Amino acid sequence: MAADTPAAQTPRPFWKTLYFQVLVGIALGVFVGWLWPAFGSSLKPLGDGFIKLVKMIITPVIFLTVVTGIAGMADLKAFGRVGAKAMAYFLTFSTLALLVGLFVGNVARPGDGLNVDVATLDTGAVANYVSAAKERTVTEFVLHIIPDTAISAFTSGEILQVLFIAILFGVSLALLGSKGEKLLGTLRTLTAIVFRMVHILMYAAPIGAFGAMAFTIGEYGIGTLANLAQLIATFYITALLFVVVILGLVARAAGFSLFGLIRYIKDELLLVLGTSSSESAMPLLMEKLERAGCPKPIVGLVVPTGYSFNLDGTNIYMALAALFIAQATNTDLSAADQALLMAVAILSSKGAAGVTGSGFIVLAATLSVVPAIPVAGMALILGVDRFMSECRALTNFIGNAVATIVVARWEKAVDLDQLNAAFAGKGGRLTETESDRLQIEGVSDVPPAGKE
């Protein structure tokens, strides 16, 4: 192990880092989409293909991380406690994000002056989103968590279904005691293999970011942004303030630096920016949080659950977009209407996946239940929704990283010195060979929640 230490501390050349390579991919994508729009639009399969590659590996990552985390816990009561704290955090900050969006929308009023006649809008473009939204009732959402079969949870790629099966399997394996130790060791070996696969897939990240960005600029054009620049600017500024002020204060109260966290996960943030999908960086986020000292059971539970229940960016977007449509169509919303909007949005936002377009479907689901706002008004923002998806994904991603560390801090399960050292680049790093070996041997896990 000592022989590997110098190599672990030697910084990699900047051109070999994922951060630099994804940044180059994004820049080239913008350049190609701007100069050759038709060619840029044709590159969409590159971005879609990379997202499919990552989604392919997410299911085993979540299952193995959750199962090995739960089965390795000395106290299963701690698992239930962590889940309750995580859900309380999610509900609180999702509601707060909606309130912030409503407040800014009422103050900035980005839709004023458009005077759009709803009858003139082309509703055909949003028909598919409205149709998909009708299937997202609260009852359907809850029942959808239960897969048709234990196998279908993995073949469908539904995060909450996989999480449901993983929790049941992990608890059952933990209850077996010593009889399950051999299987637990095998699952830890599989975990190391799967995370090595993640690293291999990340070699395609710059290509995926290039294709996704070239398509966005080529399909919609940079000039498209000018049409609804006020809404986009309002959303970006609101999301930025939410992250810096609110999440910054939360991080400070928990004893760590938000900007230190952002520096630590900058590679993953660029990947999210390039692909407009927070799912594309989920496996890397889970691995980095564990390396920073957050226990595997907490990371395995909070991060995947947060992708469905802790969508701060999506909630801000829904509030602003709904108010924009109402203002643009001269629809007056009473306090009761806005209260209903918030109540519906709190429920409809749960279960939205971290992939491109899901925020638009959730918005359709919300407006379908709030009769005061014309659903047809969604046609106004369809063209620029793609430009706001990056900000939604980034805000959601940072929010889930903060939530995981906060829950770990509440459990007194993460050491601040180790956490801050990782953020400063002075710790939390292992060579890939050493990391794999420790995971295989099962000795890289941080002590269970509640233990120090």
CB atoms within 10 A of CB 174: 20
pLDDT confidence of residue 358: 57
CA 180 to chain centroid, in Å, comes to 33
pLDDT given at position 223:
56
The pLDDT of residue 274: 77
- Whether 449 is covered by a domain: the verdict is no
User: Tokens for 345?
Assistant: 């949005």
Q: What is the pLDDT of residue 121?
A: 58
CA dihedral 268, 274, 276, 279 (to 10 degrees): -30
pLDDT at 73: 66
Residue 64 near residue 187, CB atoms below 8 Å: yes
Domain-embedded: residue 450 = no
Rounded Cα–Cα distance for residues 161 and 150 (Å)? 9
| 406 within domain boundaries | yes
In a domain, 360, yes or no: yes
Single pTM value for the model? 0.69
All residues at 6 or more sequence positions from 49 whose CB lies less than 8 Å from its CB, including other chains: 204, 208, 211
pLDDT tens per residue across all 452 residues of the chain: 333 433 444 556 767 677 678 778 878 888 888 888 889 888 888 887 887 787 787 788 778 877 887 776 656 677 788 888 998 999 899 899 999 999 999 998 887 876 767 666 555 555 555 555 555 555 666 777 788 888 888 887 677 788 788 888 988 888 887 888 888 889 888 988 888 887 888 788 888 888 877 887 787 666 544 545 778 888 999 999 999 999 999 999 999 999 999 999 998 898 888 777 777 788 889 889 999 999 888 898 888 888 877 889 989 998 998 898 888 888 888 888 888 888 877 766 665 544 445 566 677 767 766 777 877 777 667 656 667 878 888 999 999 999 999 999 998 888 888 898 898 876 544 434 334 433 333 333 333 333 33
pLDDT at 267: 87
Other Cβ atoms closer than 10 A to 303: 26
Quick count: other Cβ atoms within 10 Å of Cβ 219? Answer: 18
Structural domain contains residue 446 = no
DSSP type of residue 354: S
pLDDT at 373 (0 to 100): 81
Beta carbons within 8 Å of 107's beta carbon, 6+ residues apart: none
Domain assignment present for residue 97? The answer is yes
Tally of domains in the chain: 1
Quick check: 451 and 414 in contact, CB under 8 A? no
Amino acid symbol at 299: V
What pLDDT shows up at residue 406?
A: 96
C-alpha angle 167-137-161 in degrees, rounded to nearest 5? 20
* CATH code of the domain containing 373: 1.10.3860.10
Residue 179: its pLDDT value, please?
84
* Inside any domain, residue 201: yes
Asked if residue 452 is part of any domain, the answer here is: no
Give the model's pLDDT for residue 432.
Answer: 40
Q: What is the pLDDT of residue 435?
A: 41
Range(s) of the domain holding residue 15: 2-441
Q: Residue 188: name the closest of 69, 294, 107 by CA.
A: 69
CA 414 to CA 416: how far, in whole Å?
6
pLDDT reported for residue 430 = 43
